[in-house]
A and B are shown apart, each in its own frame.
Chain A
């Protein structure tokens, strides 16, 4: 008896099971997409969708590919590498990646890439106009070492409060909240200096280059950075991307 040959006479069709599986797969996919439009679920969306994706995967592998009722050896040669693949994605994404700074280390030539983008005209002209004087790390260090933001606070009161509110909480239709964890243009001191230097094209946020000294721009930027996380009362809602520390 040859195991490679199929016995037609004693085969019973699975088409009903397949139809049922296809319907369930479609429903799960539809629900998955619909969930995106339910804002209150946002905090649990990622784990929820992960479970749903794994469920779909299990149904295709178990039912359509019949791995569930097939030989052990198939499970071994397929599921072991699949487990390793998921493990790799998990480790790389959630454990290693957060410690990997794109600006430090020698891993990626991001600087080279940036100049390429400038050459290709892919960066907005204004963004390339005035470069912050220091590197990203230098600014972060400056912030970490700074004890007193008095000078920056003064500039803020005179120049920025009109749009961003004196306590940094932001104003409807004007400047965003500086005391939450959200940024439209990046939350590193370097990003903030760049925003103040160049302004945001087409927005009320204008370039302060030349209006106040470069030193004042640096001081006020460090002050803005120090506001993060203060979450003042009735501040404007989150705009842009949440950043971690």
Chain B
């Protein structure tokens, strides 16, 4: 059950009586989602910030879709090595994949804790999620370094190099942005700037995080595993 579901029934609940005043007050600070989009009702009776997030993620689908399609379009077209099968390490990538997958779990728990007004747990889960994200990015930095220094695969080396680094690099950048975002959200909860009634702020950050995870689910299977499966 989400905040939205309650909104639909049209009846006021005790907790919602904080109303505009409270919310407006809390809306200041670094939380640049502002209070406007939270307070303001709209035609579809959904929180604007959440609608905005889903729409943004829709455009992100096309963004990563293009990068993945381009990678496959030029796959097996490189005329100089190293080729994917020579550089990929399933063992290492499996570990980082697992870490990212688990971060989606902690993220879901963070939102759940926020909605249950367990602020301490919410903060802990957000920080855990950010740590998992950092581990994932560290693995990627190691991977890139290994490819670049030891396997002599640069961005300009081959079509594989160009398309691979662009695709996975943008994904890693998304994870990095997500880590910073989650830490900021945890900080705002800590300072009391995000109350459980405004869990939608945490939920929206969570949507972004889960999205980044599903992009990796696709990249891991299609790009890494398929290389050894065909």
Contact = CB atoms under 8 A, between A and B. Distances in A.
A116 B14 CA distance: 70
A93 B108 contact: no
Given A85-B61, A122-B157, A33 B210 contact: no
Nearest to B45: A3
B2 A70 contact: yes
Contacts of A73: 44, 46, 51, 54
From DSSP, what is the main secondary structure of chain A's interface residues? helix
Contact of A6 (B68, B199, B229): B199
Nearest to B107: A64
A74 B210 contact: no
Given A60-B104, A88-B69, A71 B44 contact: yes
Contacts of A245: none
B149 interface: no
Contacts of B199: 6
A146 interface: no
Contacts of A35: 229
B41 A18 contact: no
B225 A92 contact: no
A7 B6 contact: yes
Interface in A68-90: 69-71, 73-74, 77-78, 80-82, 84-86, 88-89
A102 B73 CA distance: 11
A213 interface: no
A6 B6 contact: yes
B83 to A, nearest CB: 9
Interface in B1-54: 1-16, 18-20, 23, 37-41, 44-51, 54
Interface of A: 1-15, 18-19, 21-22, 25-26, 29, 32-33, 35-36, 42, 45-46, 49-50, 52-53, 56-57, 60-61, 63-66, 69-71, 73-74, 77-78, 80-82, 84-86, 88-89, 92-93, 96-97, 100, 102, 108, 110, 113-114, 116-117, 120, 122-123
B138 interface: no
Given A2-B39, A70-B2, A14 B13 contact: no
B interface, size bucket: 35 or more
B98 interface: yes
B73 A92 contact: yes
B158 A113 contact: yes
A64 B108 contact: yes
Nearest to A6: B3
A49 B44 contact: no
A97 B229 CA distance: 19
Interface string B44-82: 111111110011011101101110111011010101110
B200 interface: yes
A113 B19 CA distance: 63
15 contacts: A1-B16, A2-B38, A5-B23, A5-B200, A13-B116, A25-B101, A29-B94, A46-B226, A49-B229, A53-B220, A64-B107, A66-B2, A85-B61, A89-B69, A93-B72
